Structure 1
Amino acid sequence: MDKACETVWNNCLNIIKDIVEWQHYKTWFEPITPVLLKSNVLTIQVPSQFFYEYIEEHYVNLLAKTLKRELGKDARLEYRIMVDSGNGKNLPLMMDVPGQGYKSYSNNEMDFPLVINNPVKNPFVIPGLKKMQIDPQLNPVYVFDAFIEGDCNRVARRAGKTVAEKPGSTSFNPLVIYGGVGLGKTHLAQAIGNEVKRLNNNKVVLYVSSEKFINQFVDHSRNNAINDFIHFYQLIDVLIIDDVQFFNRAEKSQDAFFAIFNHLHQSGKQLILTSDKPPKDLEGVQERLLSRFRWGLSADLQIPDYDTKIEILERKMKNDGLDMPKEVVKYIAYNIQNNIRELEGALISLLAQSSLNKREIDLELAKKVLRNFIKSSSKEITIDTIQKMVCDYFDVPYEKLLQKTRKREIVQARQISMFLAKAFTKNSLKTIGEHFGGRDHTTVIHSCQTVKDLMDTDTLFKESVIELQQKVQLAAM
């Protein structure tokens, strides 16, 4: 391997590993091998066509910026894809950096604020600064269509849609989106920004993390340029600040943000903030700021329920043109409990292993690959377990569940049991029916549809089913 080639690639990786989540870094960057550096063209070898396509779709912008940083503005990237024969005769696939759909950054352009963690070099004192020169720093992947609505996020998503349609003109100003790690706060906040740009391209939108904001403030304090710093932010029409809880360790940055907040709010501009907790629980943040955070709407994101997780996985698969057995999708949704990020990480790891091992995805592979995501204490749920759980919940005798009766409470308990058995076990419809007094598969299909219809129309019934779903999930842990 060319020493210069290896050096360039390692320098790129040193930047990438600070930006990409560790699990994604190990999955998508460690298997890559640099093979050739000729002039300003770097060739990297990837294990498969799937690998190449995934890198192209999800990380081309990041690769573009890191490679330009190493080789200059004319940097190019080539891929060499490994094939089954291993004869090495296949031509490398070619791609211009930074790739289709992304902006290139030259030295004479405004570089504020870079995604790469460089110190900001006073980007404001640029002659003839115009508002439209400001890059919004939005990820084009984060849109409303890709943000699945469920009970866990309905208020926040609909409030975000309202804000995007009328930024600065609703009572949701500021809009504070809060919730735990990996529940979609950044996605929703950036989806608002992307929707604003789609509807009003003349609006100046900017997304920035609180840590980036603080670092910029410190840099400009050293250069006696705080007024330039504040003036720049006052140019923004829609300002999105991610993870405002980190303001707790930056008192002077809070002072600057207070001035920016007041100016934007009084000027009818929109502020969108995200946090890991509601404003009332933020510690170390000035009370005058907290009071302003409470002026608008605070909407939380919760852990998605089973049905929402299924929909998230199916949407992800559809967007990526992937297919997977229903039982595997259910297995992932059932076992991944913590957040959406972990859910998607599990799916990505499964797809990567399937591609690298050239093996079809089935339940056996899913269990093997996802053992690092799933608690080892998980156990299989049986139809009998579900039946007894439902009987206890509704105080219905177990033997009645198997008999032929038209009593409403018995019929309903039987239908819910069938619905849960289909959702949480790997049994066929025929097997499920046999566990209910020898009923056939059409009865199971009818019961499951009846439960879905009642959940759409009867709130109390829906709450009972959701509670039972949670009990079944807990029983498997």
Structure 2
Amino acid sequence: MSITAQTVWNNCLEFIKDNIQPQAYKTWFEPIKAVKLTDNSLSIQVPSKFFYEWLEEHYVKILKVALTKELGETAKLVYIIKMENTYGNKQPFTEKIPSSNRGALKSQDVDVPFNNKSPELRNPFVIPGIRNVKIESQLNPNYNFENFLEGDSNRLARSAGLAVANKPGGTSFNPLLIFGGVGLGKTHLAHAIGVDIKDKYPEKTVLYISAEKFTQQYIDAVKKNNRNDFIHFYQIIDVLIIDDVQFLSGKTGTQDVFFHIFNHLHQNGKQVILTSDKAPVDMQDIEQRLLSRFKWGLSAELQNPDFETRVSILKNKLYRDGVEMPEEIVEYVAKNIKSNVRELEGAIISLIAQSSFNKKEITLDLARIIVEKFVKNTKREVSIDYIQKVVSDYFQMDIDTLQSKTRKRHIVQARQLAMFFAKKFTKASLASIGSQIGKRDHATVLHACKTVDNLSSTDKQFRKYVEDISKKLSV
């Protein structure tokens, strides 16, 4: 029986799985595909340059041991990088690299940026007419890595941020896109990277700006016929940090100018850091050529912190504020406020304030009162599990049936409705929604949402389903 690439790779994976953390295995090894086996050389496909570099940096030893066990001492590993080129291009970008060969990678095609030279670069952050060559970074030094605590929910994003801070423009994390829901620390991490770069490389020009302010500056530049000055200003930045990049949605002029600025910075080895409330695949009304570039580097998700991380965040906050609090109270707050870091810290500040103003001791009873008010005043975030339960109950079926592979029309429609409401009521990515509702991919979820929209406008009965379930979820 002849062995195949898949057989060899499966055996390697069994060995690797037993020797690394489950989360690391899921992140770094599940996306890899075995491509071909030639003599003693195994070719594997990885989704980006970033993946290749990370594997070579962190897992080259275990890969060597696993492959040697399968193919002997002369075993070779070849990476095939297949980068998603997003929607428009049918041909993927690929490059073959033998293991431990750090040769230069080909870059994708990019548009030529503006080349006109302007005698004077105008800084949008200074008052017109006052010349100021120093560009203020607009960074908040209070947002640093020291008080951005690491946990399972943010480890990848934080590690990538540290790598960028150590070598801005010199890693594959360019651009680095940090995405996640409200209050999970996107802005904090973006500032922390900038602050660290300024500490390590004082000569570099670092600039933090919100996408909203960037857009307003561009509109002003067009009105004053200073578009080229605007472009030239941003082209001299070494590290550009744009917060809430999803704000560019639908703004074609701003997207176009950002596209040229991005190309210039990227081609010249400058670092771009972006934050967004959603993954690139979920961004609406952003040009495909921009989305493609967002995927060149790393998209790292910030998720809701787990219990241990929430406890660490609270303890760190109390330590920084010089406040002592019994362990059971810290754990009570952490256990009951799960939504995000901002609300978690808000609750502890409220507790300290109540205790201080009313000269009351911080007790578990006081914590219960504060947390109860806090949770009541905080908009409840509906979970995907809860949505599936509501939809299943409405159609009188169990969740296993909803998630099943059956193509029966009423079950398919129930599943599509669950996906539609998961997209509407949660911050989860399409891929995450698909994974939780019957292990589907993001394209299935996208199709489900479009189908629900279409049926709602053409089918009276289906529209009633949508209205009924919407009421149940909004209660």
Cα distance in 2, alignment partners of residues 362 and 286 from structure 1 = 53
Cα distance in 1, alignment partners of residues 361 and 222 from structure 2 = 57
Cα distance in 2, alignment partners of residues 371 and 302 from structure 1 = 24
Deviations 1:266-311 (A, max 9, x none): 1110000001111111111011101000000010000000000000
Cα distance in 2, alignment partners of residues 316 and 295 from structure 1 = 36
Relative distance call for 1:229 and 1:112 in structure 2 (3 A) is closer
Amino acid at match of 2:211: S
Task: State the Cα distance separating 1:220 from its structure 2 match.
Answer: 1.3
Q: Which residue of 2 aligns with 1:323?
A: 324
User: Residue 139 of structure 1 aligns to a residue in which SS?
Assistant: coil
Q: Which residue of 2 aligns with 1:137?
A: 138
Deviations 1:153-204 (A, max 9, x none): 1000000000000000000000000000100000001100000011111111
1:211 pairs with 2:212: yes
Task: State the Cα distance separating 1:374 from its structure 2 match.
Answer: 2.4
Task: State the Cα distance separating 1:370 from its structure 2 match.
Answer: 2.3
User: Residue 145 of structure 1 aligns to a residue in which SS?
Assistant: coil
Deviations 1:221-268 (A, max 9, x none): 111111111111111100000001110031101111111101111111
Q: Which residue of 2 aligns with 1:194?
A: 195
User: Residue 374 of structure 1 aligns to a residue in which SS?
Assistant: helix
Q: Which residue of 2 aligns with 1:350?
A: 351
Amino acid at match of 1:328: I
Cα distance in 2, alignment partners of residues 183 and 176 from structure 1 = 14
User: Which protein is bigger by CA-based radius of gyration?
Assistant: 1
Q: Which residue of 2 aligns with 1:369?
A: 370
Within-5 A mapping of 1:241-260: 241-260=242-261
Within-5 A mapping of 1:102-181: 113=125, 123=128, 126-127=130-131, 129-130=132-133, 133-181=134-182
TM-score (norm: length of structure 1) = 0.52
Contact 1:180 1:277 in 2 (8 A): yes
Task: State the Cα distance separating 1:372 from its structure 2 match.
Answer: 2.2
Contact 2:124 2:217 in 1 (8 A): no
Contact 1:112 1:135 in 2 (8 A): no
Q: Which residue of 1 aligns with 2:233?
A: 232
Contact 2:177 2:273 in 1 (8 A): yes
Contact 1:112 1:134 in 2 (8 A): no
Contact 1:208 1:240 in 2 (8 A): yes
Relative distance call for 1:112 and 1:222 in structure 2 (3 A) is closer
Within-5 A mapping of 1:290-439: 290-374=291-375
User: Residue 146 of structure 2 aligns to a residue in which SS?
Assistant: helix
User: Residue 272 of structure 1 aligns to a residue in which SS?
Assistant: strand
**5+ unaligned residues in a row in structure 1: which ranges?**
1-109, 114-119, 377-477
Amino acid at match of 1:146: N
Contact 1:152 1:301 in 2 (8 A): yes
Deviations 1:327-379 (A, max 9, x none): 11011100002100000111111111111111121111111222222259xxx
TM-score (norm: length of structure 2) = 0.52
Cα distance in 1, alignment partners of residues 366 and 292 from structure 2 = 51
Task: Give me the CA root mean square deviation.
Answer: 1.6
Amino acid at match of 2:209: V
Relative distance call for 1:349 and 1:111 in structure 2 (3 A) is farther
Task: State the Cα distance separating 1:324 from its structure 2 match.
Answer: 0.6
Contact 1:184 1:301 in 2 (8 A): yes
Cα distance in 2, alignment partners of residues 142 and 227 from structure 1 = 33
Task: State the Cα distance separating 1:126 from its structure 2 match.
Answer: 4.8
Q: Which residue of 2 aligns with 1:60?
A: none
Cα distance in 1, alignment partners of residues 239 and 335 from structure 2 = 38
Contact 1:160 1:192 in 2 (8 A): yes
Amino acid at match of 2:352: L
User: Residue 344 of structure 1 aligns to a residue in which SS?
Assistant: helix
Q: Which residue of 2 aligns with 1:81?
A: none
Count of residues in correspondence between the two structures:
256
Q: Which residue of 1 aligns with 2:456?
A: none
Deviations 1:395-420 (A, max 9, x none): xxxxxxxxxxxxxxxxxxxxxxxxxx
1:289 pairs with 2:296: no
Amino acid at match of 1:190: H
User: Residue 277 of structure 1 aligns to a residue in which SS?
Assistant: coil
Contact 2:179 2:279 in 1 (8 A): yes
Cα distance in 2, alignment partners of residues 226 and 355 from structure 1 = 53
Amino acid at match of 1:292: R
Contact 1:237 1:269 in 2 (8 A): yes
Cα distance in 1, alignment partners of residues 123 and 169 from structure 2 = 27
Cα distance in 2, alignment partners of residues 257 and 270 from structure 1 = 14
Q: Which residue of 2 aligns with 1:263?
A: 264
Amino acid at match of 2:371: L
Q: Which residue of 2 aligns with 1:183?
A: 184
**5+ unaligned residues in a row in structure 2: which ranges?**
1-121, 378-475
User: Residue 182 of structure 1 aligns to a residue in which SS?
Assistant: coil
Q: Which residue of 1 aligns with 2:275?
A: 274
Within-5 A mapping of 1:48-63: none
Contact 1:179 1:301 in 2 (8 A): yes
Amino acid at match of 1:183: L
